Amino acid sequence: MSSSNRLLYVAGALSPFTEQSPLAPLTRSLPEQVQDAGDFEVRIMMPCYGNINERKHNLHEVIRLSDTDVPMGTETKSVAVKVASVPDAQLQVYFMDHDGYFGQDDQATAQNGDAADETLSQALFFNRSVLETIRELRWGPDLVHSFGWMSSFTPPLLATTFADDDLLGATKSVFTPDGQPPGVPVPSGFADRMNLSLDGTIGSTLSDVGHAHADEAILPPETSAEDGTPIFSDETGPRTDQAISLYDQMLSEVPA
Percent of the chain's residues with pLDDT above 70: 92
pLDDT at 194 over 50: yes
Beta bridge mates, 144: 8, 173
- Give yes or no for residue 215 having a pLDDT over 90: yes
Q: Is the pLDDT of residue 2 over 70?
A: no
Tell me if 119 sits within 8 A of 184, measured CB to CB: yes
In percent, how much of the chain has pLDDT > 90?
77
Domains and CATH numbers, the chain: 6-252 (3.40.50.2000)
Q: How far apart are CA 186 and CA 212, in angstroms?
A: 13
Average pLDDT, the chain: 91
pLDDT-derived band at 1 (thresholds 50, 70, 90) equals: very low
Q: What is the DSSP letter of 204?
A: S
Backbone dihedral region of 9: left (phi > 0), alpha (psi from -120 to 50 degrees) or beta? beta
d(CA 121, CA 185): 12
> Alpha-carbon distance 126 to 121, whole Å?
8
Q: What is this structure's pTM? A: 0.93
The pLDDT tens digits of the residues spanning 67-78 come to 999 999 999 999
